[in-house]
A and B are shown apart, each in its own frame.
Chain A
């Protein structure tokens, strides 16, 4: 009889468990609140969007999202977001590296500057950027002799996206660089590895999973950006117009269903891309024995 007392009934159940043993209570409460919160804040608006779009029927939906203008704008959005995130993956990594590895006067101020794009109203950023990069602006004027124009061109979209997505890369990569063991680099140095070989074969593989996370966050942020881009892009249909601008234009014409249909397309594409990046990241993490 004592045996049945020492073995709790649930102990016999194997496989799926709602939660691993923990001394902290509150499983039911916290899960309920979590699901409610996600439902109200995230799923609710998305569901309304899908519901609203569903009302227009499959034919009309396909018709709306396959117009040349929608496809061209989608391509512009994706391409610009990719360029901006790639550029930030390189330079954001560099910024994070310098901020964590070196000590220089004003390091803390530089570190605080990284967060500014988070806080600045995006419209302000857009106006500032377009002033700066306009053909008569400080930087724009320097580019004119080379026949380059950034503001009111597709390149302007990339510049705005780079500005707003920088912190995502820096802030995800920074803690990982802080945790790198300098001893690993020293060990490789002792074995005769060059500085470049140490960075590529020892440091970078350790940073890579975090860098991919940062890239995914930055990419998603770029796709969703609207406020700063409308000021700098020029918004010429099929040339320098991003999807969110198109959606707002549809709304201006009171074509709510058209707007949500494009929104759903955008949502689906973003979701698939983020899923792909997540899978890639899981693969990298596994390969590097994380």
Chain B
């Protein structure tokens, strides 16, 4: 049975403040989808609307081809994991997981079998008698997940599932959840503000901002082809240079040429370059006065701050490459931009930067 979710023209406001603005989204059957956005972008509200914890002001939601906008949450076949897990504090692990089954008046023997099965799945068989207060954050998270899975939902919804966990637990749980999804293939939507989490886990990412969907697509496509300035800035670090296009060449307002963008219409342009696309080498001759401010090596990667009279840029490279290049603090350097995106102000279509031909290299 297909459990495609179709969200059509959904809007929701609170106290005259629009939180979701005419959102359209299709979640495919068996997909692991991330709703990614800064806080206040409406992603949690959208998740709650799908669960039935809230009603849209307008628009409709269909789950598995059936209209579900007014349906009771329990009739939608969704499992929900709350940000702070919302475990029942006065029930032990076993009773927490058994609760949805008991509410449905499942026979006792069947409850025992199912809960034992789920406890095995979350690898907490030995802690069945513990109370939530006696569990670590990661364990609570898994119990919340088992409880959401107990009623065999068609759709699994997770609100910031890893938000409250420390880095190592977060990574392990992420892998575990990914693996679980490969095995069970439940249509899953999770909300996050952490782009690394979304990229690591999701089949498809939906980026939200200000109650609207900015872009959706496979993680690698989104990163390579950000639809607008917001998406580019939101997905990792970037150098922002204000400039202008003239004859297919993009110049920074500070004077130096940045790269080619053959289709760029002449006029003002916003240029975004990721640090790893800023290539540095020791200055050969002449140059434009770029000097390394500071090199900080953090593990496998080094961050290099480089500046000329008017502009400061962040570059990054592997420490191995840094050592091979012979770059040191305060060294005069030449810069090439290996890639980037230019947003012509007049035209919202983003353009890919291309490396300048050697004669124009700065």
Q: Which A residues form the contact surface with B (CB < 8 A)?
A: 181, 183-184, 186-193, 197, 201-202, 205-206, 287-290
Contacts and interface: CB of A to CB of B under 8 A. Distances in A.
Nearest to A183: B86
Contacts of A191: 74, 99-100, 103, 151
Contact of B86 (A187, A206, A290): A187
20 contacts: A183-B82, A183-B86, A184-B88, A187-B86, A188-B99, A188-B103, A189-B53, A190-B73, A192-B72, A192-B103, A192-B104, A192-B151, A193-B99, A197-B103, A201-B99, A206-B89, A289-B89, A289-B90, A289-B131, A289-B132
A188 B79 CA distance: 11
Interface size class of B (residues with CB under 8 A): 20 to 34
A289 B88 CA distance: 10
B217 to A, nearest CB: 30
B292 to A, nearest CB: 47
B82 A186 contact: yes
B305 interface: no
A197 B103 CA distance: 8
Contacts of B131: 289
A190 B84 contact: no
A206 B87 CA distance: 12
Interface-central residue, A187, A189, A202, A206, by most chain B CB under 10 Å = A187
B119 interface: no
Nearest to A193: B103
Chain B interface, DSSP helix/strand/loop, else mixed: loop
A188 B96 CA distance: 10
B90 A186 contact: no
Closest A-B pairs by Cβ, 7 of them: A289-B131, A192-B74, A288-B90, A183-B86, A191-B100, A205-B90, A187-B86
Given A192-B151, A290-B90, A290-B133, 18 more contacts: A183-B82, A183-B83, A183-B84, A184-B87, A184-B88, A187-B86, A187-B147, A189-B53, A191-B151, A192-B74, A192-B100, A192-B103, A193-B99, A202-B88, A206-B90, A289-B90, A289-B91, A289-B131
B251 interface: no
Contacts of A188: 88, 99, 103
Interface in B24-43: none
B88 A190 contact: no
A190 B89 contact: no
Interface in B85-115: 86-92, 99-100, 103-104
Nearest to A194: B103
Interface in B65-84: 72-74, 78-80, 82-84
Given A181-B86, A183-B84, A191-B74, A289 B103 contact: no
Nearest to A289: B131
A184 B86 contact: yes
